[in-house]
Structure 1
Amino acid sequence: MLFNSLNFAFFLPIVFIFYWTLQNKKLAYQNILLLLASYYFYGCWDWRFLFLLAFSTFLDFYTGLKIYHSSDKAKRKFWLILSVGINLGFLGLFKYYNFFADSFASLVHQFGLNADHPTLRIILPVGISFYTFHGMSYVFDIYNRKIKPTTNWVDYSLFVSFFPLLVAGPIERATHLLPQVEQKRTFDYSKLTDGLRQILWGLFKKMVIADNCAEYADIIFNNSDSYSASTLVLGALFFTFQIYCDFSGYSDIALGTARLFGFELLQNFKFPYFSRDIAEFWRRWHVSLSSWFKDYLYIPLGGSKGGLFKQIRNTCIIFLVSGFWHGANWTFVVWGFLNAIYIIPSIVFRTNRQHLEIIAQGRLFPSIKELAQMTLTFSLTVLAWIFFRAETVGHAFDYLSGIFSMSLFTNPFISNPEFIRSILVIALLIPFMIIEWLGRENKYAIETSFLNMPRPVRWAFYSLLVFSIGVFMQTKESAFIYFQF
């Protein structure tokens, strides 16, 4: 079930009404309802994978209890390894087996050998990377004595499978979400209106910006050898805004939906395209994943301790793993490695913690220096996204070689009838980025931007967003990019 589907438009209000009618009943009733709704939501993709979700949930719930109640260090480590090993085993089987099998066959073929290897005809369970990381963080935190395990199966299951975040995050921590699951929640009208605003903005980003950018990014990337360098640049820009609006749009809908039920999820995007260096970009892009890798991989590897070489080594490991987490393709690994290369200078010169506040905070315009920094960072990001979007590493290099040619100085052009509509999409990006800039100090762009304006103005703006969705939405429902991860 997609957030941008009619099915979800019926599902959400029904769950919302039943949920709040239970407000004066036991908290357990509300949690059971949300758990059943979450399993139904997930089962709409493929009901067979409900068993995998339930097994993964039971595994981490049970091993968490065993770790906590084991006084012997060896036993605690055994249960930790068992939980993490099985979780990563399922992730590896469904997501990476065919990739490694094909890569090995290609490698031995280079030496003139033929390797007959079996491949599995399996479907990647949607959201497996996300709910696996939910459970692993829970077990890690228990092992490190940061939290106590819950003994309530329903509460833990809801923490793992809460439908707004189940299939594409944010990757929540038990320290943040589980206490909210365990506490009584009361209806708050201000949270309702705030949640609906964020949902609307997320739908606008997905259905108006991302889906339309996707159409032209696909045309250009799929026929990159037929277009001029300037058009290839345009294609890279289309994808740059597509992936941002697609994923941050999903996160906005997820956070807004959770708020309707009285939950506050982790902010996953903090206006990353306004970053002044790559280190700041990664503090603002997919925040929950970046912080997960920092806490459960970077710091255990030694973090920033042990000298410059180890810090660079640990950083490269983090980005390579992050790239591989995104998909079973060498393009993602190269994308991760390229971002590691980008960030190394800031580590060497110790400037990676330089920009902790949002750019031009308290000011309408950035300084010339900030504008130059933001432009350079954005350009490097666009370059890296080419590897993320390309079908193969070779395709990415061919695309780049096409960009760096004399046709870079010609006018970009997409064949009719797509050309006129693509101009409209570009025109939409301008007011969108202005709104994002003006709201960059908020949790999402329109959180407070129009609250102080007269009600007719506010409702006219919201109506314009709804109208734009109706006019520019694609005729076919499109899944979110991060569903494949």
Structure 2
Amino acid sequence: MLFNSIDFAIFLPIVFLLYWFVTNKNLKLQNLLIVIASYVFYGWWDWRFLSLIVFSTLVDYTIGIYLGKETKTSKRKILLWISILVNLGFLAFFKYYNFFLDNFITAYSFFGHPLDARSLNIILPVGISFYTFQTLSYSIDVYRNKLEPTKNLIAFGAFVSFFPQLVAGPIERATNLLPQFYKKRTFVYHNAVNGLRQILWGLFKKMVIADNCATVVNTIFDNHQDYSGSTLVLGAVFFAFQIYGDFSGYSDIAIGTARLFGFNLMQNFAFPYFSRDMAEFWRRWHISLSTWFRDYLYIPLGGSRGSKTKVIRNVFIIFIVSGFLHGANWTFIVWGLLNAIYFLPLLLTNNNRNHLEIVALNKKWPSLKSLLLIVLTFGLTTLAWIFFRAETITHAFLYIKGVFNKSLLSIPEVRPTNVLILLVVFIGIEWLGRRDEYAIETLGFKWKRPIRLGFYYALVILILLFSRNEKTFIYFQF
């Protein structure tokens, strides 16, 4: 079920009313309703894959119980590895089986030994990466004794399948989200209004910014050989805003929806395109995944401790794995590799924590130096996004080759005036609201009420005017 669909517009109020007016006096019933609603939400796409969520839930719930009882380190490690292998095994099969098979056939044929093997017609379950990493955080934290194993199967099932963030994050830690299912929730009007405001902003990002940018991006990327360098730059820039509006828009809707039900999810994006270097960008982009890799892969590998060689190794491992997680294509691996190259000099020179505060924190405008750094960082990020968007490595290099020629200084052939105006408005609003968790969290609070309400209604009208047909979210395929 898509957030930007009529189905969800009907589904959400029904669940909301049942949650607060029918099951509100019984915590177990509330949690059970969340499980049922989450399974309906996920099963709306393809009910057959509900078995994966149920199986993953039962495996990690059982592993947690046994980890709580077991004291021997060797047996605890075995239990942890069962959880890791089961979860990553499903992920590897559905997401990477054909990728590895095709590359194995290619490599085998290279040495003059053709191999007759057929790929499988495998459907990738929506959101499998997200709930896999979420449930893994539970097993790992229980193993590390950072979390007491739960004996409440319904609460754990609700944690794994919580529908607002089930298919595209944020990837919640068990230490943050699971305890919220143990506590009685009470309706707080202010939190609900805040949630609705964040949902509105998320829908604007997705349906107005991302989907309208997508129309331009698809035209340019699919016909890159026919366009000038300046037009190709426009396509890459529009894709940067498409993926940001699409993914952060989903996160905003998810976080806002969770607030309607009394839950607090972590911030997943913190205005990343205002970053002044790549280290700051990765602290602000897809925060839930970046911190997951930091805590469960980078630090266990040694982090930034040890020799320069090990530090370099760790950085490249973290970014290449992150790239590979995004999809079974060499383009994503190159994307991750390129970001590692961007990040490494900052880490090796101890400049990776230079910009911990939001840019121009107590000022209206950035300094010239900050502005130049923002533009440079955005340019490097956009260059990497070309590999992310391209169908193949060859496609990406041909696209980049097309950028760097004499036509780079020409006027773009594609001139989507409406979308450009929308982007300028969007960037302006994001800049004004950059100190908050999301752009319109407190924007306009000092305005007169009619003006503030007019602003909200204007966003609604823009969503209705510029929204395209229901388009899936980009990260559903990851």
TM bucket normalised to smaller? over 0.9
Deviation of the 1:23 alpha carbon: 5.9
1:433 equivalent in alignment to 2:427: yes
SS in 1 for 2:461: helix
> 1:39 matched to which residue of 2?
39
Equivalent in 439, 459, 463 of residue 465 of structure 1: 459
* 1:363-378 equivalent positions in 2, closer than 5 A: 363-378=363-378
How many Å separate the matches in 2 of 1:156 and 1:181?
A: 8
How many Å separate the matches in 2 of 1:282 and 1:117?
A: 40
How many Å separate the matches in 1 of 2:355 and 2:91?
A: 35
Decide whether the 8 Å contact of 2:67 with 2:143 is kept in 1: yes
SS in 2 for 1:44: helix
> 1:29 matched to which residue of 2?
29
CA deviations on 1:107-147 (whole Å, 9 max, x unpaired) are 22222321112311111000100000011110000111111
Q: Which amino acid aligns with 1:235?
A: G
Q: Which amino acid aligns with 1:77?
A: K
1:117 equivalent in alignment to 2:111: no
CA deviations on 1:169-215 (whole Å, 9 max, x unpaired) are 00000110111111111000001110000000000010001001001
SS in 2 for 1:300: helix
Q: CA RMSD in A?
A: 0.9
1:230 equivalent in alignment to 2:230: yes
> 1:57 matched to which residue of 2?
57
Decide whether aligned partners of structure 1 residues 24 and 108 sit closer, same or farther in structure 2, where only a CA change above 3 A counts: closer
> 2:477 matched to which residue of 1?
484
1:243 equivalent in alignment to 2:243: yes
Decide whether the 8 Å contact of 1:210 with 1:243 is kept in 2: yes
* 1:306-385 equivalent positions in 2, closer than 5 A: 306-385=306-385
> 2:445 matched to which residue of 1?
451
Deviation of the 1:24 alpha carbon: 4.7
How many Å separate the matches in 2 of 1:134 and 1:482?
A: 16
> 1:155 matched to which residue of 2?
155
Q: Which amino acid aligns with 2:471?
A: S
Q: Which amino acid aligns with 1:9?
A: A
How many Å separate the matches in 1 of 2:112 and 2:225?
A: 31
How many Å separate the matches in 2 of 1:221 and 1:280?
A: 28
SS in 1 for 2:358: coil
Query: Normalising by the residue count of structure 1, what TM-score does the alignment of the two structures yield?
Result: 0.97
Decide whether the 8 Å contact of 2:65 with 2:149 is kept in 1: yes
Deviation of the 1:64 alpha carbon: 1.2
CA deviations on 1:213-232 (whole Å, 9 max, x unpaired) are 00110000001011110000
Decide whether the 8 Å contact of 1:94 with 1:124 is kept in 2: yes
How many Å separate the matches in 2 of 1:448 and 1:292?
A: 29
CA deviations on 1:297-340 (whole Å, 9 max, x unpaired) are 00110111112221121011000000000000000000000000
SS in 2 for 1:351: coil
Q: Which amino acid aligns with 2:472?
A: A
Structure 1 gaps, min length 5: none
1:277 equivalent in alignment to 2:277: yes
How many Å separate the matches in 2 of 1:283 and 1:350?
A: 15
Query: Normalising by the residue count of structure 2, what TM-score does the alignment of the two structures yield?
Result: 0.99
Decide whether the 8 Å contact of 2:24 with 2:30 is kept in 1: no
How many Å separate the matches in 2 of 1:224 and 1:323?
A: 24
How many Å separate the matches in 2 of 1:348 and 1:32?
A: 49
Q: Which amino acid aligns with 1:453?
A: W
* 1:199-210 equivalent positions in 2, closer than 5 A: 199-210=199-210
Decide whether the 8 Å contact of 2:142 with 2:149 is kept in 1: yes
> 1:216 matched to which residue of 2?
216
Decide whether the 8 Å contact of 1:32 with 1:154 is kept in 2: yes
How many Å separate the matches in 1 of 2:174 and 2:314?
A: 25
Instruction: Tell me the number of residue pairs that the alignment of Structure 1 and Structure 2 aligns.
Output: 478
SS in 2 for 1:445: coil
**Identical residues among aligned pairs (%):** 61
Deviation of the 1:480 alpha carbon: 0.2
CA deviations on 1:148-171 (whole Å, 9 max, x unpaired) are 111000000111110000000000
Deviation of the 1:15 alpha carbon: 0.5
How many Å separate the matches in 2 of 1:256 and 1:467?
A: 20
How many Å separate the matches in 1 of 2:218 and 2:23?
A: 47
Q: Which amino acid aligns with 1:211?
A: D
Deviation of the 1:452 alpha carbon: 2.0
> 1:11 matched to which residue of 2?
11
Deviant stretches of 4+, over 4 Å: none
Decide whether the 8 Å contact of 1:22 with 1:29 is kept in 2: no
Q: Which amino acid aligns with 2:456?
A: Y
